[in-house]
Chain A
Amino acid sequence: MIEARLDRRATLGLLAGAAASGLAGCGRRDDGTTRLSFWAMGNEATNVPQILPEFERLNPGITVNVQALPWTAAHSKLLTAYAGDSLPDLSQVGNTWVSEMAAIGAISPTPAFAADLLTDQFPAVLETNRIGGQVVGTPWYVDTRLIYYRSDMLERAGFDAVPQTWAGWKAAMHAVKRVAGPGTYAVLLPVNEFEQLLTFGLQGAEPLLRDRDTRGNFSSASFIAALEFYKSLFDEGLAPVASSTQISNVWTEFERGWFSFYFSGPWTIGEFRSRLKPETRWMTSGVPGPAGPGASAPGGSSLVVYRHSPHQEAAWKLVRFLSDPAVQARFNGITGNLPARESAWATPAVADDPYIAAFKGQLSRAKAVPKVPEWERIVTEMQIVAERMVRGEYTPRAAAAEIDRRADRLLEKRRWMIEQGRAT
């Protein structure tokens, strides 16, 4: 009995000793190297390690540790990391999340020595990163949505390009539908995706939120016009009332001519290239607006340096490296991402791609969405109401009032914050 107890104690002692020495072994070596931790998502996380050796060669004494996050978990991961005080030195952040990360005070604003990184950028993308007068994120790559269309179908319908007004576009859609035959549609607008309606809404003259972004402004004349246009596409049989989960394979349906206009971002170029048959002719075009080429929302990712990071200078060196037009052009070659610096678009690989050309024009017409942390939730609610409108539950005017009501409720906290002087 006593022996057993001694044995147990001895074992525990040994274990404790082993744990202690193990911990000591894990201690940081202090050899003067700065180890930057950099969180990236999806495709970028996979590919950015390919270009980092050059950065480490140019900056001896700095090593970069890339941590990959899946896009679906990245947003909550960043917020939980902030709550748990375990954010990295810098990370990639989706453009629409910048306002949220800035609202909680997690991000370092761009310092004076890095101000030149903000030149040679698309104005709307830069605007998305400007919170309270300060730019907090450096655009890394950009995207926006525009129209992919079947150029062969449009030709057969008697058009050589997508008309750039709503009315002209609708006429072209009717013509394409006649050519494609019965049982087909002209455009795919999945009723569970907010991007399409948001694009039409952004094209109006009036902003989507009012009173210092504390109330919805969806009952404005221009947004109601967008709702009417959106609804009419379904009512006139030009768009199927279907959600994206009901369409199992976009490429096959596009190829079959079930629809000939498709709304998407630059990632679709690669998909269409590899999935569509070579004889299926297609092209990209800017989004038509109410009276001429229209706006769309700027997307993409920015690089942000976190406030708590002890390696500010090294982190900004990495931001500077990744913002270099030559590096961005190289990264475009690897990932297909559209570079944020406008001069990187001049490189032959980018400039000679016929499908990318329309993106340049569309990005120059992009319009920043309101920068409030509640935005993502507001557009989600907007689309829930819009889907019901399409299904006949609301008229456009009633839908606009309902969206306003929901947005006002989501923004209630923000109104209180501004009244109390706790937010700007």
Chain B
Amino acid sequence: MTAIPVIARPARRAGTRRSRERAAWGFVAPSLIAIGLFFAIPVFSALLLSLTDFDIYALADIGNVRFVGLQNYERLLGNPLFWTAMKNTGLFAVIGVPLSIITSLGAAVILNARVVKWRPIWRVMFFAPYVTTLVATAVLWNYLLHTRYGIINWAISSLGLPAVDWLGQPSTSIPAILMFVVWKIFGYNMLIFLAVLQTVPDDLYEAARIDGAGPWKQFKHVTLPAIAPTLLLVSIISVAGFFQLFAEPYVMTQGGPAQSTVTVLYFMYEEGFKWWNLGSASAVAFVLFLCILAVTLVQLAVAKKMGAYE
């Protein structure tokens, strides 16, 4: 009688481990299947598509598809409009990412301060643009930016400055769209910053105050180190977001004036759905993917050097 449990125990333990493993797989299986079905397979087929000349003829008969190797990539790199799109996207990201982070961090710090009253109302007001429909707000901003009837030009000309043709001139179209994008997204980043700011212990600020640190020194030596990992996360998300800018120029300028707001994604849309060259549009998608990956790796390396994470 005593021998049975002795033999049975290790067997049961092994069985438990196996069944635990099975259960674990069971729990992750739904996500894995979803990732495989909706991410891995489409990405892999897009990669295959980018090596073919899938076009309008192929839409009529799949037999008209030819394997063309890297020709799509080669032509892409020789296309001046693609480089214009890259330059525009780079401009959007280089100006837009710092601008949106500064705005959202500023708003978060102000809202986190004890002196501000009606904080929930401010939070809702700042977050509201993020949850409203993009197209509706873009149309609204088109009116705000209107050369003759827009409220922004009304404010400018009441200061005695000449009116600006915001969306009609290549030099002002990117700043105009940036204003809109920053207004639209800063509420989301602000919420992340607010959450992390509330985790910074008050005694740290108190100690800093006792050591004679002013508000700027407190911000620099207490707040910034405490939120550094979040700052990194927000900057990675923002870079990826700005690289994928599409709907804003699509609704507000259609890529114009003089192709000054054609972004990489807008270029891909035109290639794919205006000219129906899905092969070369997939190639654009892959180049964009590689760009975002490269920038993210650089960001991670810089952050590691600065000690934002281990």
Binding site for B on A (CB under 8 A): 72, 75-76, 79-80, 82-83, 100, 103-105, 192, 243, 245, 248, 373, 377, 413-414, 416-417, 422-423
Contact = CB atoms under 8 A, between A and B. Distances in A.
A251 to B, nearest CB: 15
Interface of B: 53, 55-57, 59-61, 63-64, 66, 165, 168, 254, 256-258, 273-276
A100 B56 CA distance: 8
B80 to A, nearest CB: 9
Nearest to B55: A413
A67 B61 CA distance: 28
Contact of A76 (B55, B59, B254, B273): B273
A104 B274 contact: no
A103 B64 CA distance: 12
B276 A79 contact: yes
A105 B58 CA distance: 11
Given A79-B276, A100-B56, A104-B59, A417 B64 contact: yes
Contact of A80 (B53, B63, B273): B273
26 contacts: A72-B254, A75-B274, A76-B273, A76-B274, A79-B56, A79-B59, A79-B276, A80-B273, A82-B59, A103-B56, A103-B60, A104-B59, A105-B60, A245-B168, A245-B256, A245-B257, A245-B258, A248-B165, A373-B56, A413-B53, A413-B55, A413-B64, A417-B57, A422-B57, A422-B63, A422-B64
Interface of B is mostly: loop
Contacts of A243: 258
A86 B41 CA distance: 25
Interface of A is mostly: helix
A83 B275 contact: no
Nearest to B278: A83
A143 B87 CA distance: 39
A104 B60 contact: yes
A389 B57 CA distance: 33
Contact of B66 (A79, A103, A105, A416): A416
Given A248-B165, A417-B57, 13 more contacts: A79-B56, A79-B59, A103-B60, A105-B60, A192-B258, A243-B258, A245-B258, A413-B53, A413-B57, A417-B64, A422-B57, A422-B63, A422-B64
B258 to A, nearest CB: 6
B83 to A, nearest CB: 14
A103 B274 CA distance: 16
Nearest to B81: A384
A417 B56 CA distance: 12
B63 A104 contact: no
A339 to B, nearest CB: 30
Contacts of B274: 75-76
* Of listed A79, A413, A417, A423, residue having the most chain B CB within 10 A: A413
Q: Give the 8 A-B residue pairs with the shortest CB-CB distance, closest first.
A: A104-B60, A245-B257, A76-B273, A105-B60, A104-B59, A373-B56, A79-B276, A377-B275
Nearest to A373: B56
A332 to B, nearest CB: 30
